[in-house]
Amino acid sequence: MLMDALIPLLPFAAFVIIGLFELSGRGLHERAHWIAVPAVLGSLVFSFVAFGSVLSGGPRDLTFFNWAISGTFQASIGIHIDALTAVMLLLVTIVSSAVQIYTIGYMHGDRGYARFFAYIGLFTFSMLMLVMASNLLQLYIFWEAVGLCSYLLISHWYERPSAAAAASKAFIVNRVGDFGFSLGIFLIFTLVGSLDYDKVFAELPKHVGETISVAGVEIGVVTLISLLLFTGAMGKSAQFPLHVWLPDAMEGPTPISALIHAATMVTAGVFMMARLVPIFNLSPAAMGVAAVIGAATALFAATIAVTQNDIKRVVAYSTVSQLGYMVMACGLGASVAGIFHLLTHGAFKALLFLCCGSVIHALSGEQDLRKMGGLKSHLPVTYRTFYIGALALAGVPPLAGFFSKDEILFRAFVSGGAGIFFWGVGIVTAFLTAFYSFRLIYTVFHGPSKVEPKAMKHLHESPAVMTVPLIVLAFLSVTVGWTGLPIHGFNGIEAVLGPVLAPQEQTESPSALLVPLMLVSIVVAVAGWMTARYFYLTQPELPKRLAERVAALYRLSLNKWYVDELYDRIFVRPTIRMANGLWREVDVRMIDGVVNGVGWSALAWAGAMRRIQSGQLQHYALVMALGAFIMLTVYLLR
């Protein structure tokens, strides 16, 4: 039990120690990792222990303290580990460990080195507490805490205006989603009077069928709750139309992109949907909305990733797209498949980001795909691991991405009704995914070198401290998928998560469809791969000509469907204009006017009154004599 508590507390201790050294003025600087890395490795070990004991002994609970007690309401902070939590613990601690070790090499010589490790520690703590929450309040607190860490880490290079703006954007866009999330939690509390998962899951089904009037429209209260909670997931997991912050978040250092904006924090939305699946299951309407939004996001982001020229942005849009898959899976009632994809995606996307970081590091900070090429022989380790990551992302068997993505597509296909439509969207997205994955490989590592001479001089493979995490993650990207083989008896993920996430169902799927669908997926993935090969290796002039042929479509994709511009017109600029108006008219004219007016009138009065003070002795004497005379007269004549 104590060891369970150490899982989140070790990274927190690392944060506190490094932070205190920073505050004391004698920072740890390049020694910070001697505290951070052992701490996170410790929590990795304890996570494995916890995982083992959950598998054999069932869920584990430990309450740290009761945070708020008021009447019948009670909120406690503590840890609750069941199968879902245990696999998330493994994911978070493995990726966090790999990323922190990688960071030693990547951030070497950075001014904020110790600060960076402190914030990663805080993030790891918050994320672990988030997945271990046993009530909605703790979930929400650490949901916000990971958002804060994301903000702090995106703006790590805060002197760059673009980084500061990206951090603000991430925070503000998340606020929109979190607002809905908090409303959902409030609504649950008013209905049930408790925020504990168990009580909520037990009580909420009794309220199915009740309606509530929102702006004159009657809506099922459980549907409303589910939709509001889903809004939170949309913000955190960057689902359309709240996806805009994630690509911009790439302004942060690359290890952060790998840890927070690919493997862990952005998957919190999907995790939340899986965790609260008993609530979502009550509302088919909300599930439908989630499925549609997930599918739309998957396709939408994939079309953007195809044309982006910034290496990290391609991977970022790919993340948005893959998150779309997961949300779609949760929306279709296949949360096990969603979480499975979350795990495999965590491994291969962290790998891809760290590889991007390695490439960027080797090229002295260059991120533009058009200034790369031919790096294969210079970065052998990065090349091979990147290749594995791309294969996994593209869904080529037998790598991790294939099994999880195929599971989602299969579930979509057999879910009936509109399922075949979702399957179609998924297949198209899979084709685009394979295409842009190998577009990256071919433009970065193959073909003629377009590296600038200045960067060429410093070109070098990254040190071992960076490549070893790559190799570990590459190994995981190959093998994690094997935990969920779609063969009865070999599907470990289903066996572990099934009882938690979908206890009542598990009708054994008609496996007659399984093999044909799998073949389609393989064909599509290989087709995407070969198309990219043809476009970028065999006929390097083709993409340019194609872009000219369908210039409108190309521009639409390159400019990310103009969503940012649209938001700028609709939300940002009117807000700024309103703020300016309030500032100039209300604040300066009215409020300052009143305050200054009081001051001015006092001054004016004083200016008039001070004329009485003539300084002439005899004026004062006269006034005094007249006063005495008047008083005397009044006294005598009374």
Partner 1 sequence: MIPLSYYVMLSAVLFIIGVTGVLIRRNIIIILLSIELMLNATNINFVAFSHYLHAITGQVFVFFTLTVAAAEVAIGLAIIIALYRKKASLNVEEINRMKW
Helix boundaries (H) for 568-616: 573-581, 592-609
Stretch touching partner 1 by CB under 8 A, among 365-373, 399-407, 440-448, 616-624 = 616-624
End-to-end CA distance of the chain: 96
Q: Tell me the CA distances in angstroms from 193 to 264, 271, 275, 279, one per residue in order.
A: 31, 24, 19, 15
Q: Which of 208, 513, 604, 625 binds partner 1 (CB under 8 A)?
A: 625
Minimum Å gap between C-beta 630 and partner 1 is 14
Rule CB under 8 A: say whether 604 interacts with partner 1: no
Minimum Å gap between C-beta 620 and partner 1 is 9
For 242-273, give the DSSP string: STTHHHHGGGS-HHHHHIIIIISGGGHHHHHH
Nearer to partner 1, 68 or 623 (CB): 623
Report the candidate in 290, 293, 296, 342 with the shortest Cα–Cα distance to residue 319. Answer: 342
Rule CB under 8 A: say whether 579 interacts with partner 1: no
Residue span 538-577 as binding mask against partner 1, x where in contact by CB under 8 A, dash where not:
----------------------------------------
Q: Which of 71, 216, 416, 615 binds partner 1 (CB under 8 A)?
A: 615
Nearer to partner 1, 595 or 622 (CB): 622
Cα gap 296→559, rounded to integer Å: 18
Helix boundaries (H) for 193-236: 197-203, 221-236
Cα gap 160→164, rounded to integer Å: 6
Q: Which of 598, 622, 630, 632 binds partner 1 (CB under 8 A)?
A: 622
Stretch touching partner 1 by CB under 8 A, among 368-376, 539-547, 561-569, 607-615 = 607-615
Stretch touching partner 1 by CB under 8 A, among 170-178, 203-211, 570-578, 620-628 = 620-628
Rule CB under 8 A: say whether 638 interacts with partner 1: no
Task: Give the number of other CB atoms < 10 A from CB of residue 265.
Answer: 27
User: Interface residues for partner 1 in 372-391 (CB under 8 A)?
Assistant: none
Minimum Å gap between C-beta 622 and partner 1 is 6
Q: Which of 545, 549, 610, 638 binds partner 1 (CB under 8 A)?
A: 610
Nearer to partner 1, 542 or 621 (CB): 621
Nearer to partner 1, 578 or 624 (CB): 624
Residues 419, 413: contact at Cβ < 8 Å? Answer: yes
Q: Residue 407 has what DSSP assignment?
A: H
Residues 463, 105: contact at Cβ < 8 Å? Answer: yes
Residues 468, 101: contact at Cβ < 8 Å? Answer: yes
Rule CB under 8 A: say whether 635 interacts with partner 1: no
Minimum Å gap between C-beta 115 and partner 1 is 58
Stretch touching partner 1 by CB under 8 A, among 254-262, 348-356, 471-479, 613-621 = 613-621
Beta-carbon contacts of residue 97 (< 8 Å; ≥ 6 apart): 37, 40, 41, 44
Nearer to partner 1, 56 or 618 (CB): 618
Amino acid letter, 296: A
Q: Is the dihedral of CA 618, 621, 626, 629 positive or negative?
A: negative
Minimum Å gap between C-beta 587 and partner 1 is 35
Rule CB under 8 A: say whether 617 interacts with partner 1: yes
Stretch touching partner 1 by CB under 8 A, among 16-24, 149-157, 341-349, 611-619 = 611-619
Q: Which of 573, 614, 631, 632 binds partner 1 (CB under 8 A)?
A: 614
Minimum Å gap between C-beta 611 and partner 1 is 7
Q: Which two tokens stand for residue 59?
A: 């869920």
For 529-568, give the DSSP string: HHHHHIIIII-TTHHHHHHHHTHHHHHHHHTGGGHHHHHI
Rule CB under 8 A: say whether 621 interacts with partner 1: yes
Q: Which of 512, 611, 635, 637 binds partner 1 (CB under 8 A)?
A: 611
Specify which residues 62 forms β-bridges with: 79
Q: Tell me the CA distances in angstroms from 433 to 248, 300, 368, 392, one per residue in order.
A: 20, 11, 20, 10
Rule CB under 8 A: say whether 613 interacts with partner 1: yes
Per-residue buried b or exposed e for 435-460, using 16+ beta carbons within 10 Å of the residue's own CB: bbbbbbbbbbbbbeeebeeeeeeeee
**How many chain residues are in contact with partner 1, going by CB under 8 A?**
11
Minimum Å gap between C-beta 607 and partner 1 is 9
Q: Which of 616, 634, 636, 638 binds partner 1 (CB under 8 A)?
A: 616
Cα gap 485→437, rounded to integer Å: 24
Minimum Å gap between C-beta 632 and partner 1 is 12
The residues that touch partner 1, with contacts defined as CB under 8 A, are 610-611, 613-618, 621-622, 625
